[in-house]
Amino acid sequence: MFLVFFDLGGKKLAAMGRLFIEDAKGEKVLICRGCRVDSASYDDIESKEFQGRYGRAYLFRKVVNIVIGSSEERILSSGFHVVNDIYCSSCMQLVGWRYERAEEESQKYKEGMFILEKERMEKKGG
Interface positions with Zn ion (CB under 5 A): 32, 34-35, 88, 90-91
Question: 113 near 46, Cβ under 8 Å?
Answer: yes
What DSSP element (H or E) covers 4?
Answer: strand 3-8
Which one, 30 or 83, has the nearer CB to Zn ion? Answer: 30
Give Cα 66 distance to the centre of its chain. Answer: 7
d(CA 81, CA 74): 5
Which one, 26 or 34, has the nearer CB to Zn ion? Answer: 34
- Nearest-approach distance from CB 31 to Zn ion, in angstroms: 8
- Nearest-approach distance from CB 85 to Zn ion, in angstroms: 14
- Nearest-approach distance from CB 39 to Zn ion, in angstroms: 8
66 phi and psi angles, rounded to 5 deg: -130, 140
- Nearest-approach distance from CB 91 to Zn ion, in angstroms: 3
d(CA 68, CA 1): 14
Which one, 37 or 102, has the nearer CB to Zn ion? Answer: 37
- Other C-beta atoms within 10 Å of 83: how many? 20
Which one, 86 or 102, has the nearer CB to Zn ion? Answer: 86
